Structure 1
Amino acid sequence: MNFNALSSTLFAVVLLFGNQLFSQVSNSINITPKLAINAYLETYYGFDFAQPSNDERPSFLYNFTDHNQININSAIGGIDYKRNRFKGNLLFMGGTYVKQNSAHEPSIFKHIYEATLGFKILKKHDLWFEFGIMESNLGFENVRSRECLTLTRSLLAESSPYYLNAAKLGFTTSNKKWEMELLFSNGWQQMIHGYPSFGHTLIYTPNEKWKFNSSSFIGRVDLEGAVPALSRVENRFFHNFYAKYSKEKSNIIAGIDFGVDQLVKDPNDIGSWLGAIAVYQYDFNKRWNAAARVEYFLDPNNSVAITEENDGFENVGASLNIDYQPGRAFLLRLEGRLLSGADPYYSYNNQKSKKNFSIVSALIISLWK
C-alpha cells in the first residue's frame, strides 16, 4: 500500500468522522455494531544532540529514528470485525517505523500491521483460536505510543519482537483473573522464511490494582554477521516478566527480559542478554500526566542489539516525558531521553561518545477500538 495514500486516508477519517467520534463510547469509528474502522496517526519531531550526519538515530532504535525532521513514525488503518464466535481484522501501516523494522520483509508483507482471524471454540467458555500476523505477546509496549506510558520505546522493546506470524490458543477464566495463551509462530519477528517456534503468555490479575505477566519465545533465529561468513543460526530461549500496579493517579510498571542463544553448530557456544526497566506515571488531571523511566540493557554478544562495532552492548538509560490530551482522540507528548553506554556507541561533535541525549515530540491521533 502506498504510504502517502494511507496517511491521507487517516487524515480524511479524522476530518469526516471527528464530530461523530466524540459521541461514541469507543474511539473507533463504528460502521455497524460489529464492524469498526481503526485508525492511528503518530507524527513526530526528534532532535538528537549528537546531530548525526545522516540524520538517523542509532541503528538499534526502530521508532522515532529521524533527526531534526518532521515525519510520521506510524500510520495505521484498517477494519476490525467481531460477531459472536468469530472475529478478524486487517490493518495496514506506514511510517519510519516500517522503514526501519520491516525492511527485511518482502514488499507485499512489510506494510501489514495485523491480519488475523479468530474462532471461539467453546460457546460457554472464553476459549479462542486465532491465527495470522498479530502483535507480539512479549513485553508491555507496542508500536502505538498512545497505549504506552512513555513516548519512545525502551531498549527492551526495541530488542524483542513487535509482531509475530502465529497461531495461538487463548483462554480467559470466567472471573477474568487468569489469561493463558499458547503460541506457534513463524519465528522471531518473521513473517516468512522463519523457523517453527513456540511461546506462552500467562497473565494474572488478582484485582483492579495489580497485573502480573509472564511470556516466552522458544525457537531458532538467523543472526547476520558483519560479513556473511560470520552469520549464524542459533537456538533462542527468551522470557519476559512484568508487573503493573495502578492506584488512583499513579501507574507503575517494572519488567525483566532474559534471553539465551545457543549456537546450533556448537551447542557449547552459549550467549545471553538481559534487560530491566521501571516506569512511573502520574496523572495530574484528565488532561495532563508525566512519566519517568529508568532502564538497563546488557547484550555482550550482540544477539538482539546491533551496533556498528558489533562487539557487545551495555547501556543504562533514563527518560522523562509529559503528555497533554486536548481531546479523547488526540494526544501531545514531549520526552527527553539520556542513554549512557559502557563503551562509546555514540558520537558527539564527530567524536566517539558514551552518551546520547535526545528530545522527541509527537502529535498522536488515535481512533482505535
Structure 2
Amino acid sequence: MANAQEHQNSTAKNFAIGGYIETYYSQDFNQPVDHKKVGILNSHHRSNEIAVNLALLKASYQSTHIRSHIAIGLGTYMQANYAGEDGIWKNVYEANLGFKLSKDHALWLDAGVLPSHIGAESAIGLDNVSLSRSLSAENSPYFETGARLSYETKNKEWYFSVLALNGWQRIAMSESQRGLSFGHQVQYKPSTNILINSSSYVGKEGIDSLRIFHNLYVQGRIGEKWSLLANWDIGLQEQSMTKEKLYWWNAGVQGSYAITPGLRIHGRGEYFKDRDAVVFGSTFGSGSALWGASLGLDVTIYEGLCWRTEYRHLEADKAGFPYKRQDLRKTANHITTAMAWRF
C-alpha cells in the first residue's frame, strides 16, 4: 500500500493541466458578406463579428523517461485548419506520447499528433511576435501526425530531429496519399539570445506529385526590450506525370519593442511569391505575389492575460480579396483586437 501511495504521489507531481483562450474581433474593410476573410488566412479569419480564435485545454505528463501531451481545442482556428479531418479529430490540437531511449542523453521517440516542426509561429497567439500570423505560417503546417526521433545536447546548444509523417498538416492520411512523408529539424543556439532553425519536408502530395519544402528562421533578442524574427521559405512541387516543377517562396521580418514591462509594440513586413499557384490555388491565379505589413500594440493586463490590437495591410498583384458581395480587390485591410489568457 505504501509503494502504491508513493507512486500515486510521484505521478501527481509530474502531471499538469493548463489552457489557453483567445477571443477576438476583426474588421475587414472589404466587408465580405459571408464574414470570412480570404481563404489563405486561417487564424482570426472571421470578419466583422466577435469570435473565439482558439480555446484550448491541455493535460501534460513529464517524468524522467515518459512524456505525454493531450490537448482539445475549439474555435475558428480549429474550424479552418482541421476542416479536412473526420469526427473527433477536428478538435484534437495535440495528442502524443514520448519515451526517452537513453538513460544519459536526451534522446526521445515521440509519436502522435505533434506541433509542427516547421516555422517559429504557433497557433497560441501569446507565443508569437505579432497578433496575426504571417503568410508563411498560415500556408505551412501548424500540426502534424507521425513519429519523431529527437536529440538535444546537454548544454542545449544543438537540437536534431527526424520525422516520419502522415502528410502535410494531416492527422488521418487522405485517400489520395501514397506513403509516409519525412522531415528534419536542426536548431542551433549559440547563446541564450539567438536561435537558428532549419526544417524540411519531403512527401507525396496526392498520387501524382512530390513536395519538397525548406524553412529557415532566425530568432534573436537584443537586450531586454527588442525581439526579432526573420524567416525564408522555399517550396518545390514536381508533377510526376508531366515532370513539371512548380515553385513558391516567401520571406519576412517581424520584431517587437517593450516600451514598459506591460506595454509592447510590434510590426511585420513580408513577401510571398506563388509563381505556379501551388499554395494559393485559384485565389490569385498563376504567378501571384503578395506583400504585407502590420503594426500592433500589446498591453499586459494581468499575469497571463494580454490585450492585443493590430492593423494589417495585404496587397496582391492580382485581384483575389473578396469585396462585399461578388467583387474582388487587390488589397485588404484588417484591424483586429484580441484578448488572450494562458492559465
TM over 0.5: yes
Matched, 1:358 2:334: yes
Q: Deviations over 1:262-299 (max 9, x none)?
A: 002222x0101000010111011211101110000011
Structure 1 residue corresponding to 2:80, chosen from 93, 100, 108: 100
Task: Provide the rounded CA distance (Å) in 1 between the counterparts of 2:97 and 2:77.
Answer: 25
Q: CA deviation at 1:192?
A: 1.4
**Counterpart residue number, 2:139:** 159
Matched, 1:39 2:19: yes
The 8 Å contact of residues 48 and 57 in structure 1, kept in 2 or not, is answered as yes
Q: CA deviation at 1:329?
A: 1.4
Task: Provide the rounded CA distance (Å) in 1 between the counterparts of 2:12 and 2:246.
Answer: 51
Runs ≥4 residues deviating over 4 A:
347-351
Kindly tell me the number of residue pairs found equivalent between the two proteins.
327
Secondary structure of the 1:108 match is: helix
Matched, 1:125 2:109: no
- Distance change >3 Å, CA 210–CA 66, structure 1 → 2: same
**Counterpart residue number, 1:250:** 226
Secondary structure of the 1:284 match is: strand
**Counterpart residue number, 2:58:** 78
**Counterpart residue number, 1:226:** none
**Counterpart residue number, 2:198:** 214
Secondary structure of the 2:172 match is: coil
Q: CA deviation at 1:305?
A: 2.1
Task: Provide the rounded CA distance (Å) in 2 between the counterparts of 1:40 and 1:57.
Answer: 24
**Counterpart residue number, 1:235:** 210
Task: Provide the rounded CA distance (Å) in 1 between the counterparts of 2:183 and 2:335.
Answer: 36
Q: CA deviation at 1:341?
A: 0.4
Query: Partner amino acid for 2:241?
Result: K
Query: Partner amino acid for 1:203?
Result: Q
**Counterpart residue number, 1:173:** 153
Q: Deviations over 1:99-148 (max 9, x none)?
A: 11111111121110000000111111111110000110000001101100
**Counterpart residue number, 2:6:** none
Secondary structure of the 1:141 match is: coil
- Distance change >3 Å, CA 241–CA 309, structure 1 → 2: closer
Task: Provide the rounded CA distance (Å) in 1 between the counterparts of 2:38 and 2:57.
Answer: 28
Query: Partner amino acid for 1:236?
Result: R
Q: CA deviation at 1:308?
A: 3.6
The 8 Å contact of residues 46 and 64 in structure 1, kept in 2 or not, is answered as yes
Matched, 1:275 2:255: no
The 8 Å contact of residues 322 and 328 in structure 2, kept in 1 or not, is answered as yes
Q: CA deviation at 1:307?
A: 4.1
Matched, 1:184 2:164: yes
Q: CA RMSD in A?
A: 1.4
Query: Partner amino acid for 1:314?
Result: A
**Counterpart residue number, 2:296:** 321
Task: Provide the rounded CA distance (Å) in 2 between the counterparts of 1:254 and 1:200.
Answer: 20
- Distance change >3 Å, CA 349–CA 164, structure 1 → 2: closer
The 8 Å contact of residues 284 and 318 in structure 2, kept in 1 or not, is answered as no
Query: Partner amino acid for 1:170?
Result: S
Secondary structure of the 2:205 match is: strand
- Distance change >3 Å, CA 190–CA 348, structure 1 → 2: closer
The 8 Å contact of residues 160 and 304 in structure 1, kept in 2 or not, is answered as no
Task: Provide the rounded CA distance (Å) in 2 between the counterparts of 1:86 and 1:349.
Answer: 52
Q: CA deviation at 1:190?
A: 1.2
Matched-pair identity in %: 31
Task: Provide the rounded CA distance (Å) in 1 between the counterparts of 2:64 and 2:199.
Answer: 28
Q: CA deviation at 1:207?
A: 0.6
Secondary structure of the 1:109 match is: helix
The 8 Å contact of residues 60 and 307 in structure 1, kept in 2 or not, is answered as no
Task: Provide the rounded CA distance (Å) in 2 between the counterparts of 1:163 and 1:211.
Answer: 21
Matched, 1:262 2:238: yes
**Counterpart residue number, 1:199:** 183
**Counterpart residue number, 1:9:** none
**Counterpart residue number, 1:297:** 272
Secondary structure of the 1:60 match is: coil
The 8 Å contact of residues 284 and 319 in structure 2, kept in 1 or not, is answered as no
Task: Provide the rounded CA distance (Å) in 2 between the counterparts of 1:170 and 1:221.
Answer: 25
Secondary structure of the 1:59 match is: coil
Query: Partner amino acid for 1:96?
Result: T
* TM-score (normalizing by structure 2): 0.92
Task: Provide the rounded CA distance (Å) in 1 between the counterparts of 2:92 and 2:146.
Answer: 14
The 8 Å contact of residues 274 and 286 in structure 2, kept in 1 or not, is answered as no
Secondary structure of the 1:100 match is: helix
* TM-score (normalizing by structure 1): 0.86
Task: Provide the rounded CA distance (Å) in 1 between the counterparts of 2:84 and 2:107.
Answer: 34
